Every structure is written in structure tokens, then in C-alpha cells.
Amino acid sequence: MRNIIILAFTLIFQSLTFAQSQKNDSLSIQFLPSQNLFQPVKAGLIEAKNGIVKDLNRNKLMLNIGLSSDLVRFNQKKYFMSVGADFFTYSNLIGQVNFKFPVDAIDYLFGINFNYKRQISEKNIVSARFRLSHISAHFEDGHKYERTDTIFTPVVFSREFMDFAFGFDCKFKNNIFLKNIIAVNFLFHSIPDKFGKFSLQYGSEFRYFLLDYLSIYISNDLKYLKINENNHLNENFETGIRIGKIETKGLSIYFNYYDGMDYKGQYFNEYLNYKAIGINFEL
């Protein structure tokens, strides 16, 4: 963990040094900008979200609470750069009578990110994001343990990883957009050590604006990874409507389908398949 902190401060210092070296009339610096430079696809899972997803087949909910925010942005005439931070959780809840939802399991993530964005033509934009993150997962008081003859020992799940994502946005018309994102994840420390060092990810999203403040979208995310020397392909599909103008805060109501290995840490070795409806507040 100490090495992660040292690397994080080194990257931040180098970003500030670069900005200072480029200082001229065309450079401006913003602190706490209202929007992030890098925008992931809606179906991306390991992203900051705020909302609830209801499993249609089981009495379970998934609660997401998170923040991913650019802290400082460097604006040039031809491109933009930013440094940001990530803090979020995603958890399993069990529905019970009297409006009770005990927590089964919860994952915590925090880290920093470095972002780049450039408009290469009137209709095309490229962007990139580098993340350095730590994630840990825990069972909570709502979890039901299997009956065994031995004393239960809590499972430790912790991982540190870097990922680099490259995005390409295309505007076909003023109200039709297509986003593609390719990402590579490098896992440099993990407990338990049962994961492949590298994983690959591809996300896509089609969005059509019916009105300036109302759009429909179709998004899909594929992730290739290795667990216990076995190869897996996880898919997360999401489609719905969003209330809010482009690149502003908004509200999404959607249908969600997931198929693959469970992305929550305490269940990493289990197969997961569900259909769900969800709501997400883009703050």
C-alpha cells in the first residue's frame, strides 16, 4: 500500500509539473470542474454509481454508492487533461418484510485517475483514462454462512490494480452518438492469488436523444479474465432511458442483464446470472 501511495503522489506531481512547463496564454486550470473528462459506458461495472438494481428472479437488491470526480483540469486549445479520485462501494442487500434490507456483502474501492481528451474532428473525440486503485470485499451481518463442523474463518479479499482505457466517441447527428471503449487491467497484488495478471475489456454504447433532455440508450460491456487458471467472459447489458442533457447530471431507469463470474469480491469464484431493473442518479 505504501508503494501505491508513493506512486500516486509521483504521478500527481508530474502532472502538475507538466502543466507548469506548458504554461502559456492558451492554458487554463480548473479546480473541481462540474464534469469529468472521461465518461465510461453505462454498462461498465467497476465504476462509480448511485442507485439500486432489483434482481427480478430473486429477493435481492444491489446498492451502489460512489463518487468519481476530476479534482483539477488543465485546458489547452487542442486537448484537455485532468487528475481525479474514486471512492465507491457496491453491495448485495437481502429483501425482508417490514422494509428491512440487511447487507450480505459489500465491496469498497478507492484510487486516483488521470484523464485525457481531444477532439480530432468535428464529429469524433478520443479520450483515455489511467486508474490506480485498491479494492477490498467483506461479508456483513446479513450474510448467511453454510453450516459446517469447523469454525468459520473470514475470507480476506484485497486487490490493487492499474487499468488503462481508451475511448472513441462518434457523433453521427446532433442527437445520435456512439461510444466505444477498450481497456486493459493489470493486477499487481491480490489476496487470494487466484486471478490472472491481465484482463481485457470492451464496452460500447449507442445513444439517441428524443429531446434535448431525454434519451434512450443501449450499452454492453464484455470482460475477459482468468480465475483459477480458467478463462471467462463476463457480459453486462444495459438499456433504458435517461433524463438529462448531454454531459450534465441526470437520472437513468434501465433494464440490466448480467452473465458471467460474479464481479463482487467475496463471490469471485461463483457463476452469476440475473435479469434486473435499476435506477441510477448521475450526481
Instruction: Using pLDDT thresholds of 50, 70 and 90, give the confidence band for residue 8.
Output: low
What is the per-residue pLDDT for 6?
59
pLDDT exceeds cutoff 80 at 13: no
Cell numbers given for 155: 475470507
Burial class (CB in 10 A: 0-12, 13-18, 19+), 28: exposed
Q: For 22-33, how does the pLDDT look when each residue is reduced to its tens digit (9 = 90+)?
A: 555 578 999 999
Higher pLDDT, 174 or 252: 252
CA angle 204, 113, 92 (to 5 degrees): 65
Question: 2-282: which CATH topology?
Answer: Porin (2.40.160)
- Model confidence, pTM: 0.88
Cα 204 from Cα 50, distance rounded (Å): 21
